[in-house]
Amino acid sequence: MARVQLKRRKVVIPTQYVLVILTVLCLALMILTLFTDVVSSLLSGIGGYTIVPFQNGMTQVGTGFTKQMENLRQVKTVLSENEALAERVAELEQENNQLTIDRYELTELRQLYALDEEYSSYKKIGARVTGKDPGNWYSVFVIDKGTDDGVKLDMNVISGGGLVGIVTKVGPNWAQVRSIIDDNSKVSASVLSTADNLIVAGNLKQMEHGDIDFGQLLDNADRVTVGDKVVTSDISDRYLPGITIGYISQIQMDPNNLTKSGMLTPIVDFEHLDIVLIITQVKEHTGAGAGEQSGL
């Protein structure tokens, strides 16, 4: 083997030099992947054919396991849940009334914005979540579709009718998705009823409660209230307009007395993501850019 041959010739690189070489290599990789696509596409390809197949298999075992655990847990909680549910029914009845009114408003608004057609006419492909971030800081996951299936960078990912995240890295048969609850994520959104713009920013602190922070909401007329629906805005440069994010659960005035911030509850259950839909349309290709793109 190579190592043995090195030993025989008595040319062994000192350990410290190896450390320095590897450090420089890491730094070079960082710079290369930050500013160019060369290395990352190569590495993505290698990773895609070596690691991903195993990952896919293991996830299936994992989901099977989770389902078993879930079953056991459910039996235990069913009794206590029953009580809570009785209360919930009363609550829901009231909420239902509210929602009926909301729906009326929604259809009206959808017609107004012509969202209805746009939203359902996006072409989507389904994908399975095959792995989650090994650390505890971020909320990034890997799906089992990649460039081979037509997935591209910056495609929006939805699940259950709500925004999940965005494709941040693509390999031949896998893609990395950063969810909107991730600490690094920022989405330009707007309140559906008033069309006021705001920024939805993921925060690790809110992640465990399943909430997302929002801020920079300009609402001088005080029209935005708890329960308002928040969708991705038209002015976002990477998210397609009109995708539901969630409902405002808390709102307060910022210390600057100009903008408001608060929290919203996403409609997607990020804890139990299993199958997601990728919208195979990238924002640049819509609207004004469409003409330019077709020229290619």
Partner 1 sequence: MKRLIELITIVLAFLLQCTLFQSLSFAGIVPNLLVVLTSAYGFMGGEREGMFAGMISGLLMDLFYAPFVGLNALIFLYIGYVNGMANRLFYPEDIKFPIFCISLSDASCLILQYMLGFLLRARLDLPYYVLHVMIPELSYTILTAIVLARPLLKLFGFAQRLSRGDEASEDF
Contact residues toward partner 1 (CB under 8 A) are 1, 4, 15, 18-19, 22-23, 26-30, 32-34, 39-40, 43-44, 47, 51, 54-55, 58-59, 61-63, 65-66, 69, 130-138, 140, 142, 168-169, 174, 176, 178, 183-184, 204-205, 207-208, 271
Question: To the nearest whole angstrom, how small is the minimum distance from the Cβ of residue 227 to partner 1?
Answer: 27
Nearest CB to partner 1, comparing residues 244 and 261: 261
Distance (Å) of CA 121 to CA 114, 147, 293: 12, 22, 19
Question: To the nearest whole angstrom, how small is the minimum distance from the Cβ of residue 28 to partner 1?
Answer: 8
Query: Nearest-CA neighbor of 182 among 244, 137, 217, 132?
Result: 137
Nearest CB to partner 1, comparing residues 60 and 293: 60
Nearest CB to partner 1, comparing residues 42 and 235: 42
Question: Which helix or strand (DSSP H or E) is residue 189 part of?
Answer: strand 186-191
Nearest CB to partner 1, comparing residues 274 and 292: 274
Helix 15-35 and helix 38-50: axis angle, to 10°? 110
The residue whose two tokens read 């971020």 is 138
Nearest CB to partner 1, comparing residues 47 and 160: 47
Nearest CB to partner 1, comparing residues 210 and 227: 210
Question: To the nearest whole angstrom, how small is the minimum distance from the Cβ of residue 151 to partner 1?
Answer: 15
Q: Which residues does 271 contact at the CB level (< 8 Å), separation at least 6? A: 210
Question: To the nearest whole angstrom, how small is the minimum distance from the Cβ of residue 34 to partner 1?
Answer: 5
Q: What is the CA radius of gyration of the chain?
A: 24
Question: To the nearest whole angstrom, how small is the minimum distance from the Cβ of residue 220 to partner 1?
Answer: 27
* Distance of alpha carbon 38 from the chain centroid: 25
Question: To the nearest whole angstrom, how small is the minimum distance from the Cβ of residue 29 to partner 1?
Answer: 4
Question: To the nearest whole angstrom, how small is the minimum distance from the Cβ of residue 69 to partner 1?
Answer: 7
* Distance of alpha carbon 264 from the chain centroid: 15
Q: Is the dihedral of CA 180, 181, 184, 187 positive or negative?
A: positive
Alpha helices in 197-242 (DSSP H): 204-207
SS3 111: helix
Nearest CB to partner 1, comparing residues 37 and 292: 37
Q: How far apart are CA 94 and CA 197, in angstroms?
A: 29
